[in-house]
Amino acid sequence: MQAEVLAVGIIILLFSVILHEVTILVPAVLILPAVFLGTSPGFIIGWAKPVPVNPLNFRDFRRGELLVSAAGVLINFGLAIAAALIFHLVKGSGNLPIQSLLLFTININLILGVFNSLPIPPLDGSKMVLSFLPPKLATQYQSLEKYGLLILLFLLFFPFGPVSPLGVILGFFLNLFRTILGV
């Protein structure tokens, strides 16, 4: 039973990450169909790496950047909401494996959505913030991108006191969204 639960969990995680990355491409395709010319199928999946989209090709740079960045985050929250709705439908049925699977789906997608919303480069949240900043401040903010991974690692692995700042931030928003979804 444990192996089956692990396998299903991995499938949900892969599905959520892949759908997140593919969804980032939807606004790019609507705004810039030429993005796909000459690319391989591996480009579409992205495997949790930043999807290569050239925002300079958008007619409206800020709007295009915002749409592309928000798409992946919104799909994760959408999947969490859909799973929560189904969870509430089956909650009283006594089908614990399905309920556990739905709770796992909700949690994974909330974690991915909240994490990718953080305004730390190269995460989607940083691109969303960037689209609202004045040009001079945006340039300064973009210069942080080369340090983004180090910032994330620092927040994750170097706790201030008994907890990591990243854990506190994620925990706060996860609890907030779980309360809103009633799970």
pLDDT in tens, 25-34: 555 444 444 4
Contact 85, 109 (CB under 8 A): no
Three-state SS for the chain is CHHHHHHHHHHHHHHHHHHHHHHHHHHHHHHCHHHHCCCCHHHHHHHHCCCCCCHHHCCCHHHHHHHHHHHHHHHHHHHHHHHHHHHHHHHHHCCHHHHHHHHHHHHHHHHHHHHHHCCCCCCHHHHHHHCCCCHHHHHHHHHHHHHHHHHHHHHHHCCECCECHHHHHHHHHHHHHHHHHCC
Q: What is the pTM of this model?
A: 0.70
Average pLDDT rounded to a whole number, residues 107-134: 91
Question: What pLDDT shows up at residue 93?
Answer: 85
Mean pLDDT for 107-136 is: 91
Instruction: Give per-residue pLDDT as tens, 33-58.
Output: 444 343 434 333 334 556 677 767 78
Least confident of 16-25, 81-90, 95-104, 151-160: 16-25
**Chain-wide mean pLDDT for the chain?**
79
pLDDT band at 60 (very low <50, low <70, confident <90, very high): confident
- Supply the pLDDT for residue 63: 85
What's the rounded Cα separation, in Å, for the pair 123 and 69?
Answer: 8
Q: How confident is the model at residue 23 (pLDDT cuts 50, 70, 90)?
A: low
Total Cβ atoms within 10 A of residue 176: 12
In this structure, which amino acid lies at residue 50? Answer: P
Please report which confidence band the pLDDT of residue 81 belongs to, taking 50, 70 and 90 as the band edges. very high
Residue 29 has a pLDDT of 45
Mean pLDDT, residues 99-116: 92
pLDDT for 22 equals 63
